[in-house]
Chain A
C-alpha cells in the first residue's frame, strides 16, 4: 500500500517558537494533502486542504497566518505552527490522496504530537 511519512512524531517547544511538521508521500504522487488536528476525545478536524503548487484552502476558524501550509512538490507538504502557544498543543496528522482521483482513499501519516510549554 501507499506510504505517507510524517515527522516529527513528538515535539516539545517553548511558547513563542515555531514548529515545522513534514508530510511526505513516499511511493506515490499526491496532488492533494489534508491537514487535520485532533482535540482530546474529539474527531479529526480538517484544518486545510493543500494542493501542489497552489495556496492552501483553510477551513473556517483556522488562522492561515498561524498555521502555514506549503505544498511545494507532489510528495511533500509542510505545516508550520508559528509563534506557538500552549493552546496549540494538539495532535496533528496529515493525509494524502493519489493523483488525480477525487474518490481516492486517504493515506495517513503517523501524526505529530505537539506540546507547547
Chain B
C-alpha cells in the first residue's frame, strides 16, 4: 500500500511570512509527485507535477523541490498572502494517484 505522509497537518502563518511543508513517500518505484491546492468551496487545482530527482519548480511565490532518493518533497510559499489559505495536497503515482492527508494552511492577517 502506497503511503503518502504530509506534515504538519495544520499551520498558521502570519501574513507576509514565508513557510514550507513536507510530503514524504516511499522512495522505491517512484513515478511522479503532484502538489495541489484546495481552497474551500472550490475544486483542487494542480500546482506542480514533478518526476525527476532534484527537480525544482516555481509558480509565482510558490515553489517545490523533489528528492526521490530519500523520498520527500517540500512546498515553499514566500511572503504568504490571505489568498494562500487552503489545504495543500501531495499525491503520488502513475496508473493511480494516491493522496496524502494534506496540510491545512491558515494565513493570519
A-facing residues in B25-71 (Cβ within 8 Å): 31-32, 34, 36, 43-46, 49, 51
- Chain B residues packing against A (C-beta within 8 Å): 1, 31-32, 34, 36, 43-46, 49, 51, 89, 91, 94-102
Known contacts A49-B96, A108-B43, A110-B43; is-contact A42 B101 (Cβ 8 Å): yes
B43's contact among A59, A104, A105, A109, by CB below 8 Å, is which?
A109
B49's contact among A32, A34, A105, by CB below 8 Å, is which?
A105
B101's contact among A32, A43, A106, A110, by CB below 8 Å, is which?
A43
Identify whether the interface residues of B are mostly helix, strand, loop, or mixed: loop
Identify whether the interface residues of A are mostly helix, strand, loop, or mixed: strand
B32, A103: Cβ atoms closer than 8 Å: yes
B-facing residues in A30-67 (Cβ within 8 Å): 32, 34, 36, 42-46, 49, 57, 59-60
